[in-house]
Amino acid sequence: MSSPALCPKCGRETPSGARFCPGCGFDLFDRRPRLATGLLPANQLLNNRYLVEQKLAQGGQSAVYLVMDMRDGNSQRAVKEMSESNLGPSERDKAIRDFIREAEMLRQLRHPALAKVYDRFVDGQKHYLVMEYVRGHNLEDELIETGRPLEWQRVIAWGVALCDVLHYLHTQNPPIIYRDLKPANVMLQPDGAIKLIDFGIARWLRSTQSHDTAQLGTDGYAPIEQYTARSETRSDLYALGASLYHLLTGRVPESAPMRMAGSALTPIREINPSVPEPVQQVVLRALSVQARDRFAGAPQLREALEWAGAGDRQVGEHVRVTTGAARATRMAGSGPPVHLTAIGRTTAQSLAPRLHVWPLRLDAGFMEPNEAAELRLEIANRGGGQLAGRTETNMHCLTVEPAALHPGVAALNVTIDTSGLLAGPYTCHIAVRTNGGDQIIPVRFIVRSPMPGAGTPAPYAR
């Protein structure tokens, strides 16, 4: 009788035919070492199909890369890499199950305001999800870039569009609760339409399931019932109300537990008097602490938002832009498309340059000592005329090319060089200063400790 197979990494007995070790998650078919999340270099080929171009984002649970699909006409895709760092065996199993569940959930959905999912695979002992690459930036970055509360007409239009998406999710069989609606998870595309992204903690609402598997969400956006792991469809309406509040005021609303403890929610019009009273009433009702006091469903909230904006032509125009029905036209010398239905721009304003930088933050993740990494910033003129200026950095380890901006520059190449840096986290800054405004971009990375025997780099002042 043959002896049982043992995992070469942890020595645990593995079931016959199993691909992954039940103890440490080691890929028994692929013996290559597992890299930390977010360290895939440019030009690496994943799954013999997806060519990595650059890293787009990184968080605690995953990293997202822009890739080229070599089998589908060199189409650009976004690939999400699952993080398994600092996870025990049971936590790793759950993380993998959740990752697969997200892929299965998204593959079933077809809505113009949801990013499509194309594929799921394992490569180098890491799990990956292939998604539609959504161009643009999220609503939180739009708020940061603008530097003040956003026009209420735009916010209402986004709210109407998000009601449509939530209604679609809530009417699936079984219903899907998103559970983490916030401006950072809503992408604003160049044509003005929006897309909801990141379904990492969404769940199916099953009649036999009395509560969530975990209490998840984001403080300020999560309703009180989500803290006790009992979310429902009206929980998403609270999160939508909190998102609208944030965009209208520039502030995240007080968290639900703080409000339950007696902390009052500051009225919107005390912060931004330009918001009409009916709009404030609708958003505050969506933010009711008790679910029974909110709107019955997404259609009712949409109807209330449309009522609040009734009579304002700009709201109706912007709804058409948000739902992707409006056409964009390119004005001579203006760079990216400018919408005919854009709000609040006079002819005189449209002639002035307006700087647009994306993304508004860069994260290189973990870096080795004496390593160089290259990142990219997109530069555009959202106004008229010609954009010109310069770039500055506050640390010698950070360089930007070109240093001088002129109308033909569409991107900045950012290089981080860790030579001489001590191990630890770093936050640097890039200043883009132009005749169309200034933008400060934080750049974050972590230098790993050198391997034993590799020598210690010379100190560098942080």
Q: Tell me, what CATH number does 291's domain have?
A: 1.10.510.10
CA-closest candidate to residue 126, choices 33, 17, 48, 54: 33
Are 141 and 115 part of one and the same domain?
Answer: no
Alpha-carbon distances, residue 227 vs 16, 217, 255, 257, 287 (angstroms): 41, 8, 11, 8, 15
Separation between Cα atoms, residue 81 and residue 65, nearest integer Å: 8
Are 125 and 218 part of one and the same domain?
Answer: no
Are 171 and 121 part of one and the same domain?
Answer: no
Are 251 and 169 part of one and the same domain?
Answer: yes
Task: Determine, yes or no, domain membership for 425.
Answer: yes
234 three-class SS: helix
Which residue, 132, 151, 177, sits at the end of a domain?
Answer: 132
Task: Determine, yes or no, domain membership for 152.
Answer: yes
Give pLDDT, residue 253: 92
Work out the number of other CB atoms within 10 angstroms of the CB of residue 461. Answer: 8
**What is the sign of the dihedral through the CA atoms of 313, 164, 342 and 155?**
positive
Pairing of strands 437-447, 362-367: parallel
Are 162 and 268 part of one and the same domain?
Answer: yes
Separation between Cα atoms, residue 441 and residue 393, nearest integer Å: 10
Work out the number of other CB atoms within 10 angstroms of the CB of residue 310. Answer: 10
Task: Determine, yes or no, domain membership for 334.
Answer: no
**pTM over 0.85, yes/no:** no
CA-closest candidate to residue 150, choices 251, 265, 264, 221: 251
Which residue, 267, 301, 322, sits at the end of a domain?
Answer: 322
Pairing of strands 176-177, 338-339: unpaired
Residue 180 is a catalytic residue: yes
Task: Determine, yes or no, domain membership for 456.
Answer: no
Are 372 and 247 part of one and the same domain?
Answer: no
How far out from the chain centre does Cα 29 lie?
33
Domain containing residue 79: CATH number? 3.30.200.20
CB 249 within 8 A of CB 314: no
Phi and psi, residue 191, nearest 5°: -85, 5
Are 381 and 396 part of one and the same domain?
Answer: yes
Give pLDDT, residue 33: 53
Separation between Cα atoms, residue 315 and residue 410, nearest integer Å: 32
215 three-class SS: coil
Task: Determine, yes or no, domain membership for 68.
Answer: yes
Task: Determine, yes or no, domain membership for 335.
Answer: no
Which residue, 277, 306, 322, sits at the end of a domain?
Answer: 322
The kind and range of the H/E element at 308 are helix 298-308
Give pLDDT, residue 106: 76
CB 61 within 8 A of CB 85: no
Are 81 and 224 part of one and the same domain?
Answer: no
Number of structural domains (the chain) is 3
Domain that holds residue 200: 137-322
Are 270 and 173 part of one and the same domain?
Answer: yes
- In the set 27, 69, 180, 198, the catalytic residue is 180
Domain containing residue 374: CATH number? 2.60.40.10
Task: Determine, yes or no, domain membership for 454.
Answer: no
Separation between Cα atoms, residue 230 and residue 294, nearest integer Å: 16
Are 153 and 94 part of one and the same domain?
Answer: no
Task: Determine, yes or no, domain membership for 247.
Answer: yes
Are 251 and 386 part of one and the same domain?
Answer: no
Separation between Cα atoms, residue 170 and residue 261, nearest integer Å: 30
Give pLDDT, residue 60: 59
Query: Which of the residues in the chain have pLDDT under 50?
Result: 201-215, 325-350, 456-462
CB 296 within 8 A of CB 342: no
Are 249 and 152 part of one and the same domain?
Answer: yes
